[in-house]
């Protein structure tokens, strides 16, 4: 057995309490521990005498404790600790934000290394919340690792445990292919692990870090590539080649744009081939993804199969159901609907029609996934607004057929460099053109004190026969918060806009009431619709031209872009007004991006920059396996080298069957298994 698979409890000093604490950091085995990398280093070679410290930089000092004092912080009630230390050249004050956590350690006279940021001005400088270690700790080392910690685990613990693992490192088998190591001149795993934990020079640290970043990206990228190749070879449904699409196109109220036609022919090729289709349609809000999906549905049904389409909200599913009933009814196809809100009798009828094969096209919410939803011959699975679903939901839906083709749609574009990694093994088609005759939406940001003027503008526009959405961040007023609520605004607007019909829609309403309101709004009987982000995705009412967002600073960029995408869907000039109450730098930055661009691609790229890939639409939830060192944004160059290496590797050994690649193949497998599924 691999000794690294032993539990951390086999280490000296790890009892049940520490074991539990380590578990919080997801560390169970010695292997997990050794792959917990330092977040920083305390480089004692850069030690400075206190007299030479300057504000604005980080520094290491060696000093003795003179005294300490608890300060209470009136803002959050926690007490801080102010430590006074000295060396031969002077005295330094050190501030710790959480006193209870550190106070015990500092006895008077004790000598420590402190490593932290220096702030302050001309008269007095301070060091803020430094990392620290006893002067006699780490004797003989110049560069000490600084690990991420959790309550109950100290820096000293981590260093001691890592040190005790060092002698074992030499026994770890190399798992990267020897050819990859040679071609890319990277160091071996033992050298990398030793030098990431205890580097003796900056050069060695860099070699170690490069190898570990390279390794993570290589495992991930090669894993995705081989998964994709396996799928291409897998046998699926070959839909009929000579379905007459003209009849479908005639039934559409418009002509497909060039971009829509191009994407449709990509889909048709996939559908006709014997492999299974796994394709993503990405297209900005309003680019007309639904019509392309409808064309694919037509082809599947004409070939004798059923299709299913899942949407993230019931309101959106209903909208698709209504549109498709109208479109496909005339073409002799039967459309069904399923959600968690059907009456028992309606549900039974819907399921029977599905199972008997009567229903050709089923539209619904995630209720479609339930086990009693059984198809007679499911051939095509579509998910709309895929970024709202988890991976497993998509997969469970597709398991209702025998290797059905899969089409997923999203309006959240992915920067090119990341597309492959985030979408896993999906092929990507882009609708990069909007339907003709659309005017760009005019976007304006106003301060809260200009709310009146903004609503007078709404009055003028609605008076001219337009419709408006007013969006607030919450449903009800919240105690102690000055955020606008849909309920509050609804009340206000009913008396302000007596001449118009004003309505409200939100997530806590009964579905039948929501349906009624959306229907009345689409029919023009409601002129001003107050809402929560319920209407964020997919909703299509082309006669609405105003989108006013209250507390716009509370929304993320992707959300604001989606909200703005609800207007500008018809021929009239549309307008988006963002009311901002709060002026934080972060909020201002986001609003400025909205003002500067209406391109979903650019906005997504900025969003990624601001929030980082971990936060990027639910990726944290779904997880990219094995990313400890690599940062998909920072390491674009390494990723390019990895892509080349994967190509070279798979050219020599397409299925990784050669003996020397055996460890590598196993590592990929375990990585993908521990991550569950990957992709969106």
Pair 176, 218: CB distance under 8 Å: yes
Q: With residue 118 as reference, give the H or E element that holds it.
A: strand 111-120
Three-class HEC string of 348-386: HHHHHHHHHCCCCEEEECHHHHCCCCCCCCEEEEEECCH
CB of 265 to ligand ADP, least distance (A): 15
Residue 283 interacts, among Mg ion, ligand ADP, none and using kind-specific CB cut-offs from 5 to 8 Å, with ligand ADP
In the beta sheet, which residues pair with residue 381?
308, 406
CB of 538 to Mg ion, least distance (A): 4
Q: Of 383 and 527, which has the nearer Cβ to Mg ion?
A: 383
Q: Of 538 and 626, which has the nearer Cβ to Mg ion?
A: 538
Residue 635 interacts, among Mg ion, ligand ADP, none and using kind-specific CB cut-offs from 5 to 8 Å, with none
Q: Of 177 and 538, which has the nearer Cβ to Mg ion?
A: 538
Two tokens, residue 381: 């699975």
CB of 536 to ligand ADP, least distance (A): 12
Q: Of 287 and 532, which has the nearer Cβ to ligand ADP?
A: 287
Q: Of 284 and 360, which has the nearer Cβ to Mg ion?
A: 284
Q: Of 199 and 538, which has the nearer Cβ to ligand ADP?
A: 538
Residue 260 interacts, among Mg ion, ligand ADP, none and using kind-specific CB cut-offs from 5 to 8 Å, with ligand ADP
Pair 298, 379: CB distance under 8 Å: no
283 near Mg ion, rule: CB under 5 A: no
Task: Name the one residue in this structure whose structure tokens are 């009693």.
Answer: 372
565 near Mg ion, rule: CB under 5 A: no
How far is 678 from 680, CA to CA, in rounded Å? 7
| Own/partner pairs, 655-663, CB within 8 angstroms, 24+ separation | 655/226, 655/229, 656/222, 656/226, 660/177, 660/178, 660/179, 661/177, 663/173, 663/174, 663/175
Phi, psi of 163 (to 5 degrees): -60, -40
Question: Which of 39-47, 126-134, 533-541, 542-550 is the region at the interface with Mg ion (rule: CB under 5 A)?
Answer: 533-541
**Interface of this chain with Mg ion, residues 10 to 69, rule: CB under 5 A:** none
38-49 in b/e form (b: 16+ CB < 10 A) is beebbbbeeebe
Residue 288 interacts, among ligand ADP, Mg ion, none and using kind-specific CB cut-offs from 5 to 8 Å, with ligand ADP
Question: Which of 194-202, 520-528, 530-538, 591-599 is the region at the interface with Mg ion (rule: CB under 5 A)?
Answer: 530-538
Q: With residue 394 as reference, give the H or E element that holds it.
A: helix 391-398
CB atoms inside a 10 Å sphere around CB 77? 7
Residue 286 interacts, among ligand ADP, Mg ion, none and using kind-specific CB cut-offs from 5 to 8 Å, with ligand ADP
Bridge-based pairing of strands 90-96 and 79-87 is antiparallel
CB of 384 to Mg ion, least distance (A): 6
Q: Of 547 and 579, which has the nearer Cβ to ligand ADP?
A: 547
Sign of the CA dihedral running 101, 105, 108, 109 = negative
Two tokens, residue 555: 């929304």
Q: Of 187 and 311, which has the nearer Cβ to ligand ADP?
A: 311
CB of 544 to ligand ADP, least distance (A): 11
202-211 in b/e form (b: 16+ CB < 10 A) is eebbebbbbb
**Interface of this chain with Mg ion, residues 403 to 442, rule: CB under 5 A:** none
Give the residue nearest to ligand ADP (CB). 288
Q: Of 226 and 410, which has the nearer Cβ to Mg ion?
A: 410
CB of 565 to ligand ADP, least distance (A): 6
Number of H helices, E strands in the chain: 23, 20
Binding mask 489-528 for Mg ion (x = CB under 5 A): ----------------------------------------
CB of 412 to ligand ADP, least distance (A): 11
Residue 33 interacts, among ligand ADP, Mg ion, none and using kind-specific CB cut-offs from 5 to 8 Å, with none
Question: Which of 13-21, 80-88, 522-530, 537-545 is the region at the interface with Mg ion (rule: CB under 5 A)?
Answer: 537-545
* DSSP result, 556-602: -HHHHHHHHTTSS-SSS--EEEEEE----HHHHHHHHHHHH---HHH
Binding site for ligand ADP (CB under 6 A): 254-257, 260, 283, 285-291, 411, 435, 540, 542, 569
CB of 427 to ligand ADP, least distance (A): 18
Q: Of 412 and 466, which has the nearer Cβ to Mg ion?
A: 412
Which residues are CB-neighbours of 652 under 8 A, at least 6 positions away? 179, 658
Residue of 538, 565, 613, 679 that binds Mg ion (CB under 5 A): 538
**Alpha-helical segments (H) within 61-137:** 99-102
Give the residue nearest to Mg ion (CB). 538
Q: Of 569 and 635, which has the nearer Cβ to ligand ADP?
A: 569
379 near Mg ion, rule: CB under 5 A: no
How far is 29 from 20, CA to CA, in rounded Å? 12
Pair 546, 500: CB distance under 8 Å: no
Residue 435 interacts, among Mg ion, ligand ADP, none and using kind-specific CB cut-offs from 5 to 8 Å, with ligand ADP
CB of 600 to ligand ADP, least distance (A): 10
CB of 679 to ligand ADP, least distance (A): 21
Interface residue list for Mg ion (CB under 5 A): 538
């Amino acid at each position: 057995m691999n000794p690294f698979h032993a539990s951390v409890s086999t280490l000296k000093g790890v009892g049940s309490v520490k074991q539990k604490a380590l578990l919080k950091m997801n560390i169970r085995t010695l292997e997990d521990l050794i792959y917990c990398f330092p977040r920083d280093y305390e480089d004692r070679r850069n030690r400075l005498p206190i007299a030479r410290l300057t504000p604005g930089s980080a520094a290491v000092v060696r000093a003795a404790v003179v005294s300490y004092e608890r300060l209470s912080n009136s803002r959050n009630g926690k007490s801080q600790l102010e430590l006074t230390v000295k060396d031969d050249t002077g005295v330094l004050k050190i501030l710790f934000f959480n006193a209870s956590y550190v106070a015990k350690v500092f006895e008077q006279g004790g000598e420590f290394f402190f490593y932290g940021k220096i702030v302050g001005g001309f008269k007095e400088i301070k060091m803020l919340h430094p990392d620290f270690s006893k002067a006699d700790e780490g004797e003989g080392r110049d560069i000490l690792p600084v690990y991420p910690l959790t309550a109950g685990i100290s820096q000293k613990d981590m260093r001691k445990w890592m040190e005790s693992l060092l002698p074992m490192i030499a026994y770890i088998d190399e798992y990267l292919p020897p050819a990859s190591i040679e071609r890319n001149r990277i160091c071996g795993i033992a050298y990398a692990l030793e030098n990431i934990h205890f580097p003796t020079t900056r050069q060695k640290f860099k070699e170690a870090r490069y190898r570990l970043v390279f390794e993570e990206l290589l495992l991930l990228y090669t894993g995705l590539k081989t998964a994709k190749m396996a799928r291409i070879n897998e046998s699926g449904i070959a839909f009929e080649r000579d379905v007459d699409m003209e009849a479908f196109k005639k039934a559409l109220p418009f002509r497909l744009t060039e971009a829509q036609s191009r994407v449709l022919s990509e889909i048709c090729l996939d559908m006709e081939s014997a492999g299974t289709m796994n394709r993503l349609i990405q297209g900005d809000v309003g680019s007309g993804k639904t019509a392309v999906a409808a064309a694919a549905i037509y082809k599947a049904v004409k070939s004798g199969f059923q299709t299913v389409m899942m949407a993230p909200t019931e309101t959106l599913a209903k909208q698709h159901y209504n549109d498709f009933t109208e479109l496909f009814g005339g073409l002799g196809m039967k459309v069904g609907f399923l959600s968690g809100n059907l009456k028992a009798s309606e549900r039974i009828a819907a399921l029977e029609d599905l199972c008997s094969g009567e229903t050709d096209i089923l539209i619904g919410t995630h209720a479609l996934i339930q086990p009693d939803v059984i198809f007679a011959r499911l051939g095509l699975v579509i998910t709309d607004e895929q970024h709202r679903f988890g991976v497993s939901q998509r997969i469970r839906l597709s398991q209702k057929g025998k290797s059905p083709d899969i089409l997923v749609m999203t309006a959240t574009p992915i920067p090119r460099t990341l597309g492959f990694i985030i979408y896993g093994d999906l092929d990507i088609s882009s609708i990069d053109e909007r339907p003709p005759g659309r005017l760009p939406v005019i976007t304006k940001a106003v301060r809260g004190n200009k709310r009146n003027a903004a609503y007078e503008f709404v009055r003028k526009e609605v008076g001219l026969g337009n419709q408006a959405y007013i969006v607030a961040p919450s449903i009800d007023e919240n105690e102690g918060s000055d955020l606008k609520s849909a309920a509050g605004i609804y009340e206000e607007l009913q008396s302000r806009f007596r001449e118009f019909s004003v309505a409200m829609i939100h997530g806590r309403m009964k579905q039948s009431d929501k349906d009624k309101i959306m229907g009345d709004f689409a029919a023009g009987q409601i002129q001003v619709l107050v809402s929560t982000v319920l209407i964020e995705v997919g909703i299509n009412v082309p006669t609405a031209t105003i989108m006013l967002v209250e507390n716009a600073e509370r929304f993320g960029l992707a959300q604001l872009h989606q909200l703005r995408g609800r207007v500008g869907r018809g021929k009239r000039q549309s307008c988006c007004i963002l009311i901002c109450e709060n002026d934080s730098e972060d909020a201002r930055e986001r609003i400025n991006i909205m003002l500067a661009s209406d391109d979903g691609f650019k906005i997504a790229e900025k969003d990624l920059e601001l929030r980082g890939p971990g936060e990027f639409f639910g990726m944290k939830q779904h997880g990219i396996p094995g990313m400890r060192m690599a940062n998909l944004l920072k390491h674009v160059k390494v990723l390019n080298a990895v892509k080349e290496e994967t190509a070279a590797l798979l050219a020599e050994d397409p299925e990784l069957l050669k003996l020397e690649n055996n460890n590598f193949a196993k590592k990929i497998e375990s990585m993908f298994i521990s991550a569950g599924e990957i992709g969106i």
